[in-house]
Structure 1
Amino acid sequence: MAVPVLFLQTFPLLRALPEATLAALASQASDLVFAKRAVVLQKGPPTPSLCLLAEGRLQAVDFTIDGREVGLYFINPGDYVGELSIIDGLEQPEFIIAVARSRIITLPRNIVRQAIFATPATAESVTLRLSARLRAQSAQRTILSLTNPLQKICAQLQLLVVAPGATQNRISNAPTHQEIAIMVNTSRETVTRVFQVLQAHGAVQRQGNDLVLGDAKMISQIAKGDLDLPKG
């Protein structure tokens, strides 16, 4: 099903494309809806389409050797996923899961790849996005190497604060305790206990679906290993 050109122009990635290119993409695009926990992209097979997230939220996940799920990064509305396989034609490196009911626009690989490389501004945008994602995943690996759950989770909160959608120590549409648990490779119960400690010290607070860091300095000190908090 074709997608209106004006709708495609709402995605930052596509704004620099010529009108004729946008029209060609729109005629080949599909508008899909995925239920919560549905698999949007499978790990392994090359991705047939670039996925643009219009509504909802996605998470990239993988599994450890012992079968534990590990969250890698989130995809928020306006962002996209599947670009690695689109660019090099190789395997999709991780699973992409809908963590909320999500609306996704898909663009076929061949036509969107040609459009990206034919438009310097769009190619630069993809390159910068890949760079940001690589840096974030490097930081994520550092977090996974930590052994103190409190330090781990505070380091993860710091990483989420600088992610897209976070402003002034506020994480919009913050991940659930379960989602944070798979990001730092621990249990949901451990995350809940850590949040209880942080809330008791005024370091974090929930405001609707958002998470506010009430004491960003404390979070930073814990993340660096310079401060610990009593558990009682």
Structure 2
Amino acid sequence: MADIAVELAGVELFAGLVPEALGRLAERAYVQRVGRGQVLFIEGEPSDTFLLVRSGRLRVFRDSPQGDELTLSFIEPGATIGELSVVDERPRSASVDAAEPSALVAVPSGVVREVLRSSPDSMWHVAQQLAAKVRQLTDTTADLVLLDLPRRLGKLILEQAVDAGGGRLTTTFVTSQSGVAAMLGVTRQSLNRALAALVRRGWVRAADGGRLEIVDAAALRRFIAS
């Protein structure tokens, strides 16, 4: 329980809570483990748990009435799911599955609401968290409207790049090509054409292990901003 309390203390939503309040959350928390591809919940289901990703990676997605699937985001270790439903007590706004085997710290949503209501300072942090999500959604909407596919793909490659040493930046998508296409709201064929265009310009190239190596990050950033 002490370990869980320490993990919960690192959650921005709980930044205004005193140790006693964090302890109350930890007392009711439990660890949930999910395998790759396992669905945690479906859009429209009751939201009865607040989740902290301890390890692994989760995928947030929505399905259209026509059966198309759009990946909205990936949830990394240290990030959380369920803040909105904690506040408005409405059903899940999207579906979530595991992009890879994951361990989660789950806290009943009702317990979270009870603890937050007891701390005026914590409500300020809740407002800040919701404001950050609105800004993120604004940026995402702007990208969809203002950037064509090659630029959106280039931006995604840069956002997920890691330092591979020797001044090299590489990107490895944890999802399939179909998953990346869904994230960008396009078909797999369109994604392949956009990637081929970036390769032809000499800004990225294929590397071992399914990685993409960024050859000229500065040129890619200028392209995205143009």
TM-score (norm. length: structure 2)? 0.78
**Greater CA drift, 85-94 or 36-45:** 36-45
Matches of 2:171 and 2:149 in 1, distance apart? 23
Residues 17, 209 of structure 1: alpha-carbon distance in 2 compared, 3 angstrom cutoff: farther
Q: Does 1:5 align with 2:41?
A: no
What is aligned with 2:221? 220
Q: Which residue of 2 aligns with 1:151?
A: 151
Are residues 147 and 32 of structure 1, via their aligned partners in 2, closer, same or farther at CA, if it must alter by over 3 Å? same
Letter in 1 for 2:44: G
Q: Deviations over 1:174-214 (max 9, x none)?
A: 44333321111112343234334424544235687876644
Q: Does the aligned pair in 1 maintain the 2:173–2:180 contact within 8 Å?
A: no
- The correspondence of residues 99-178 of structure 1 with structure 2, limited to 5 A, is 99-120=99-120, 122-145=122-145, 148-157=148-157, 160=159, 174-176=173-175, 177-178=177-178
Q: Aligned partners of 1:121 and 1:192: how far apart in 2?
A: 48
Please report the RMSD computed on the Cα atoms of aligned residues, expressed in angstroms: 3.2
Q: Which residues in structure 2 correspond to 1:25-44 (within 5 Å)? A: 25-44=25-44
CA shift in 2, pair 1:106/1:182, >3 Å: same
When residues 85 and 173 of structure 1 are mapped into structure 2, their CA distance, relative to the original with a 3 A threshold, is farther
Q: Counterpart of 1:103 in 2: which secondary structure? A: strand
Pick closer, same or farther for the CA change 1:23–1:148 going to 2, 3 Å. Answer: closer
Q: What is the deviation of 1:101? A: 1.0
Distance 1:174 1:139, change over 3 A: same
Ranges in structure 1 where 5+ consecutive residues have no aligned partner: 227-232
- How many residue pairs get matched? 218
Q: Is the 8 A contact 2:52 2:81 kept in 1?
A: yes
Partners of 1:185 and 1:147 in 2: CA distance: 12
For each residue in 1:109-168, what CA deviation from the matched residue of structure 2 results, as whole angstroms up to 9, or x when unmatched?
11111223433554344333322222222222333346843233224445x35xxx9789
Superposed counterparts of 1:57-96, under 5 Å? 57-96=57-96
CA contact (8 A) 2:33 2:103 kept: yes
* Shift in CA distance, 223/102, structure 1 to aligned 2, threshold 3 Å: same
Q: Which runs of 5+ in 2 are unaligned?
A: none
Matched position secondary structure for 1:17: coil
Q: Aligned partners of 2:172 and 2:124: how far apart in 1?
A: 28
Counterparts in 2 of 1:83 and 1:150: CA distance versus 1, 3 Å: same
Alpha-carbon distance in 2 for matches of 1:207, 1:124: 47
2:47 match: secondary structure = coil
Cα contact 2:61–2:69 (8 A) shared by 1:
yes
Bigger mean CA offset, 103-112 vs 62-71: 62-71
TM-score by length of 1: 0.77
Question: SS of the counterpart of 1:9?
Answer: helix
Q: Indicate if the aligned counterparts of 2:5 and 2:23 stay in contact, CA closer than 8 A.
A: no
Compared CA separation, residues 39 and 55, structure 1 to 2 (3 A): same
Q: Which structure: greater strand fraction?
A: 2
